[in-house]
C-alpha cells in the first residue's frame, strides 16, 4: 500500500520535473533569441558587404582558427539582398537556420533562393559555422 509520505515524494518529484521543463523551455527561447539576433546581424553585414563584421562572426576566425582577415571576403559568398529568416532548428550547441533571400547569380541577375546556414555555440556566443 502507498502511504502519504510516498505519495508526497512522488508529487514533489513530478512537480520538480515539470518546473525543470519550464526553465529548460525558457532557456531554449533565450538561446534561440540570441541566435536570431546574431543571424540578423550577420546577414545585415552580408547585405552591406561589411567584411569586418562578417569576419568577427565566423567560427574559423576564433583564436586558433584558419580564417584570416584578408581571406574573410572569400567566404562571404555571392551578393544577397532582402534576407528573411524563416526557421531556426536548435540541436545542442549547433543550429541550422533557413533563410529566404535574393541572390545575385552572375549575369543572370537576382534570384530568389532558400539558404541553409549552420551556426555553432562557442564560449557563450553563436558563430557562423565557416565552410572551408
Report DSSP letters for the chain, one per residue: ---HHHHHHHHHHHHHHHHHHHHHHHHHHHHHHHHHHHHHHHHHHHHHT-HHHHHHTBGGGSTT-S--GGGGGGGS-S-EEEEEEEEEEEETTEEEEEEEEEEE-GGG-EEEEEEEEEEEEETTEEEE----
- Is the pTM higher than 0.85? no
For the cut 60, the answer to whether the pLDDT of residue 25 exceeds it is no
CATH class entry, domain 32-128: alpha beta
pLDDT digits (tens, 9 = 90+) for 69-94: 888 878 878 899 999 999 999 999 99
- Using pLDDT thresholds of 50, 70 and 90, give the confidence band for residue 1: low
For the cut 50, the answer to whether the pLDDT of residue 39 exceeds it is yes
pLDDT on residue 16:
57
The structural domains of the chain, with segments of one domain joined by +, span 32-128
Amino acid at each position: 500500500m502507498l502511504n502519504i509520505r510516498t505519495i508526497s515524494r512522488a508529487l514533489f518529484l513530478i512537480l520538480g520535473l515539470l518546473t525543470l521543463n519550464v526553465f529548460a523551455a525558457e532557456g531554449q527561447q533565450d538561446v534561440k533569441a540570441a541566435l536570431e539576433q546574431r543571424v540578423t546581424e550577420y546577414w545585415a553585414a552580408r547585405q552591406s558587404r561589411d567584411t569586418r563584421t562578417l569576419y568577427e562572426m565566423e567560427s574559423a576566425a576564433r583564436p586558433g582558427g584558419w580564417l584570416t582577415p584578408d581571406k574573410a571576403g572569400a567566404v562571404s559568398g555571392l551578393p544577397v539582398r532582402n534576407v528573411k529568416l524563416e526557421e531556426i532548428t536548435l540541436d545542442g550547441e549547433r543550429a541550422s537556420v533557413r533563410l529566404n533571400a535574393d541572390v545575385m547569380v552572375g549575369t543572370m541577375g537576382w534570384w530568389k533562393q532558400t539558404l541553409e546556414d549552420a551556426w555553432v555555440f562557442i564560449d557563450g556566443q553563436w558563430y557562423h559555422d565557416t565552410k572551408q
